[in-house]
Amino acid sequence: MKSYLAGAIQMTSVPDLQKNLNQAEELIDLAVRQGAELVGLPENFSFMGEEKDKLAQGDLIYQETEKFLIKMAQRFQVTILGGGFPIPVNGTGKVHNTALLIDANGQELSRYQKVHLFDVNVPDGNTYQESSTVMAGQELPPVYGSETLGNIGLSICYDVRFPELYRHLAQQGTDVIFVPAAFTAFTGKDHWQVLLQARAIENTCYVIAPAQTGTNYNRRQTHGHAMIIDPWGTILADAGDKPGVAIAEIKPTRLEQVRRQMPSLQHRVF
């Protein structure tokens, strides 16, 4: 593993596939021009709209999104995480909310199907029932071992509230954890940052958290603040509340330092 720059992209995705892909391309370009070699896109980056519209366009969203990720990775010669998009599940009328990690050659390195689905009545009056259209994944997220970028673990949004998933990643030797999200504005203001910092601290890993921000459709508002956090819990970069990119350096020497100073993973009892 070497030192390198990572980018957590922040978008305001809407119910328009092509518009979202155009916005994503501009922000990937921005991240690469700032030196990023590992770039993460947020959950729902290619389409964010009503569930019925997502299902109706499911095959198109899947096909165009996968082609887009491969094209961007090859064009910019970077490793890209597509942080969550629908892939139809044959014969079910539902989709998997899937994250894909693609290398600079356009090859798939790993994929993860979101296991924790957001079925919540938020106190701001909004109700979310992700399971109405999404089939939960059945496998713990993978860890991809890169000689240059470190061991990369995947998760998606609501997963961040389930520390056992991240302890699994830590036990697999993860150095960098992705948490691409579309966190609600109401919950995000109180929980987003502290949950990300907790996952970084307790697992002594870097956390890269791409995010949605602003008004995506109707009353759906997302929190923003795409972040990169170091293993001590220090916020290295925060994209604020507008579309953009959080850029920070991932350092193996910092990982080693923190794990030496606070060897908590070695002291696990359970």
> Exposed/middle/buried for 99, CB within 10 Å: 0-12, 13-18, 19+?
buried
CA torsion 180-203-174-79 (nearest 10°) is 30
CB atoms within 10 A of CB 252: 13
Task: In whole angstroms, give the CA distance from residue 77 to residue 96.
Answer: 27
157 is catalytic: yes
Q: Report d(CA 183, CA 160) in Å as an integer.
A: 10
Catalytic member of 43, 64, 205, 251: 43
Under 8 Å CB-to-CB from 232, ≥6 apart: which residues?
200, 201, 258, 262
| Residue 114 among the catalytic residues | yes
**Among residues 37, 54, 66, 114, which one is catalytic?**
114
Catalytic residue, chosen from 54, 66, 157, 205, is: 157
43 classed as catalytic: yes
Any idea which residues carry the catalytic annotation? 43, 114, 157
